[in-house]
Amino acid sequence: MSAVAGAAYRAGQALEDERTGEAHDYTRRGAVDHTEILAPTDAPSWTQDRGRLWNEVEAAETRSNSQVAREVVVALPVELDAGEQRRLVRGFVGDQCVSRGMVADVAYHDIGSGNPHAHVLLTTRRIGPDGFAGKDRSWNDRGLVEDWRREWAAHVNHALARNGERERIDHRSLVSQRQDALDRGDQVAAAELDRPAGVHLGRAVHQEMRTGRPAERVARTLEEQPDRTQLRSLREQLVEQERALEREQPELRPSGLERLSPRDRGLRQTIEKVVEDLLECVRELMRALEAQRERRRQRERALEVQREREAEARRQRDLRAALREYEELVKAGKYEAADHLAEQVIEPAKQWGELNKDREAKDRYEAVRELRWKRSYDQRVGTASNVTDEDISRAVAERTYDRDRDYGPSR
Question: Mean pLDDT lowest for which of 68-77, 287-296, 324-333?
Answer: 324-333
Q: Does the pLDDT value for residue 255 go beyond 50?
A: no
Question: Do both 360 and 373 map to the same domain?
Answer: yes
Looking at the domain assignment, is residue 236 inside a domain? no
Is 161:78 a contact under the CB 8 Å cutoff?
A: no
Q: What is the pLDDT of residue 223?
A: 55
- Say if residue 214 is in the same domain as residue 119: no
Instruction: Write the CA distances from 204 to 212, 218, 220, integer angstroms.
Output: 13, 10, 15
Question: Do 57 and 42 sit in the same domain of this protein?
Answer: yes
56 closest CA partner among 105, 93, 97: 105
pLDDT digits (tens, 9 = 90+) for 69-103: 999 999 999 999 999 999 999 999 999 999 999 99
Element of type H or E holding 122: strand 117-123
What pTM did the predictor assign? 0.51
Mean pLDDT of 311-335: 83
Residues 22 and 97 in one domain: yes
Do 370 and 396 form a contact (C-beta atoms < 8 A)? no
Looking at this protein, which amino acid is placed at residue 371? L
* Residue that wins the pLDDT comparison between 118 and 316: 118
pLDDT at 64 over 50: yes
pLDDT at 179: 84
What's residue 79's pLDDT? 92
Measuring CA to CA, how many Å separate 209 from each of 3, 201, 384? 32, 10, 78
Q: Please indicate, yes or no, if residue 272 is contained in any of the structural domains.
A: no
Query: Into how many domains does the chain fold?
Result: 3
Q: 245 or 225: whose pLDDT is higher?
A: 245
pLDDT of residue 14: 95
Residue 159 CA to residue 154 CA, distance in Å, equals 9
Max CA separation in the chain (angstroms): 121
Cα–Cα distance, 168 to 159 (Å, whole number): 10
Pick from 213, 181, 175: which is nearest to 196 by CA? Answer: 175
Judge whether 226 and 194 are in contact, CB under 8 Å.
no
**Mean pLDDT computed over every residue of the chain:** 81
- For residues 84 and 159, the answer to whether their CB atoms sit within 8 Å is yes
Do 160 and 220 reside in the same domain of the chain?
no
pLDDT of residue 236: 63
Q: What is the pLDDT of residues 143-188, one digit of tens each?
A: 999 999 999 999 999 999 999 998 889 888 888 888 888 888 777 7
99 and 21, same structural domain? Answer: yes
Using CA atoms, how far apart are residues 257 and 264, in angstroms rounded to an integer? Answer: 9
Structural domain containing residue 332: 317-407
- Which class for 244: exposed (0-12), middle (13-18), buried (19 or more C-beta within 10 A)? exposed
| Cross-strand bridge partners of residue 91 | none
* pLDDT tens-digit map of 200-240: 555 555 555 555 555 555 555 555 554 555 555 656 666 66
**E strands in 221-357:** none
Residues 3 and 32 in one domain: yes
Residue 70 pairs in a beta bridge with 122
Whether the predicted pLDDT of 252 surpasses 50: no
What would you report as the CA-atom Rg of the chain, rounded to the nearest whole angstrom? 36
In a domain, 21, yes or no: yes
User: Is residue 382 domain-shared with residue 328, that is, in the same domain?
Assistant: yes
Q: What is the pLDDT of residues 256-278, one digit of tens each?
A: 444 455 556 677 778 888 888 88
Q: How many CB atoms are located within 10 Å of the residue 187 CB?
A: 14
Q: Beta-carbon neighbour count of residue 384 at 10 Å? A: 14
